[in-house]
Structure 1
């Protein structure tokens, strides 16, 4: 779904001739991503927990099979979050992670407050996920969050390009803000793939 100045966020869909609405508040979506990273839940449990988190009228949902619930789950992710589980499970290409919402929570909060004068804690339940994404993407380059992204993506200059002091500084910043192998977003991607395999060909 593209973002324009005429975009409307009705976040509604129909299922079995009944109308449902999706809770697209930014904090709910962040909690959803954290849930996918929860190793204490089975993959099939995550589908129902996700639907319960996302769909306001979850109690009105009726499924004939587990596969039907999974298909609705895939539809909601694709339609409202642009997450295509079918394509994700087919692709083996790994993208370099520049940030994650858990480790960078303080940076994101501070940057929204500094740049937009927005207190994200006061916007829970109100700020739409799409708006949050746009604001995050277009934060000022001098904001704490964008500065850290800059260090993560920066190549260490050569001796000809910069002084030893600056090169040491860049190395230190890259080490401090490094995203290690336990990156939650990579775990989320693995969880999506596990969900696809868990329900593929099930009866």
Structure 2
């Protein structure tokens, strides 16, 4: 899908039914946090994801594992902003199109200030659609502090750089190092593995 040509989605199809999906950008962040939460078992993660995006109203549609898989796949399609999986796979194989090292939780203040500075959007007041948020997030200009921090984290310090500059960039890397860098590709693969394994739907939507 093309955000310039197509209408933003507010529903998905599950078991032949058109189902409203929670589009708020915060839901996408909660989704990532849920996947990374090691205190939740597989059923708890699936249950939390379904409730996050569809609420308890999805319960009557969850009649078998095939429906669970269809619902979670709809979530993944939405989370990926409608990107085709083959395109994503090609991007991953060339190391392009991947998110840089950041954490919505750890970098929350920097991301908030970046949106205010670049777009005059107060994320505490604005209810952006996830696809809008992601498009703006990926296009943040280089001169905002958050983009500079990403640059510090990802840059390779050349051997020929002056000692003074080396010390500066090494210090910046240390200051802005993520305590536990999220691997979003791995988290998605973990979710796919949970679906492939199957489970007891009686444990879902409780």
**Residue 202 of structure 2: aligned partner:** none
Q: Alignment partner of 1:122: what SS?
A: coil
Which whole-Å deviations, capped at 9, do the CAs of 1:115-169 have from their partners, x for residues lacking one?
212111111xx2011111111111121101111111122221333xx43212210
1:148 partnered with 2:146: no
Which whole-Å deviations, capped at 9, do the CAs of 1:43-73 have from their partners, x for residues lacking one?
1221122111112573454222234212321
Q: Distance in 1 between matches of 2:129 and 2:45?
A: 23
Q: Distance in 1 between matches of 2:60 and 2:144?
A: 43
Q: Distance in 1 between matches of 2:139 and 2:185?
A: 24
**Residue 197 of structure 1: aligned partner:** 193
Q: Distance in 2 between matches of 1:120 and 1:172?
A: 30
**Residue 57 of structure 2: aligned partner:** 58
Q: Distance in 2 between matches of 1:196 and 1:135?
A: 27
Tell me if structure 2 keeps the 8 A contact 1:20–1:56.
Answer: no
RMSD: 2.9
Tell me if structure 2 keeps the 8 A contact 1:152–1:177.
Answer: yes
Which whole-Å deviations, capped at 9, do the CAs of 1:94-124 have from their partners, x for residues lacking one?
978422212211111111111212111111x
**Residue 3 of structure 1: aligned partner:** 3
Task: Count residues with an aligned counterpart.
Answer: 191
- Normalising by structure 1, we get a TM-score of 0.79
Please state how far the C-alpha of 1:20 moved relative to its aligned partner: 0.8
**Residue 159 of structure 2: aligned partner:** 158
Which whole-Å deviations, capped at 9, do the CAs of 1:1-40 have from their partners, x for residues lacking one?
3321x33113212333432111111111111111111222
**Residue 133 of structure 2: aligned partner:** 132
- Using a 3 Å threshold, how does the CA distance of structure 1 residues 110 and 11 change in structure 2: closer, same or farther? same
1:105 partnered with 2:104: no
- Using a 3 Å threshold, how does the CA distance of structure 1 residues 189 and 201 change in structure 2: closer, same or farther? same
Q: Alignment partner of 2:19: what SS?
A: strand
Tell me if structure 2 keeps the 8 A contact 1:43–1:198.
Answer: yes
Tell me if structure 1 keeps the 8 A contact 2:100–2:154.
Answer: no
Tell me if structure 1 keeps the 8 A contact 2:13–2:74.
Answer: no
**Residue 175 of structure 2: aligned partner:** 176
- Normalising by structure 2, we get a TM-score of 0.78
Gaps of 5+ in 2: 200-206
Q: Distance in 2 between matches of 1:12 and 1:134?
A: 19
Q: Distance in 2 between matches of 1:119 and 1:201?
A: 41
- After TM superposition, list the pairs within 5 Å mapping 1:75-86 onto structure 2: 75-78=74-77, 80-82=78-80
- Using a 3 Å threshold, how does the CA distance of structure 1 residues 151 and 189 change in structure 2: closer, same or farther? same
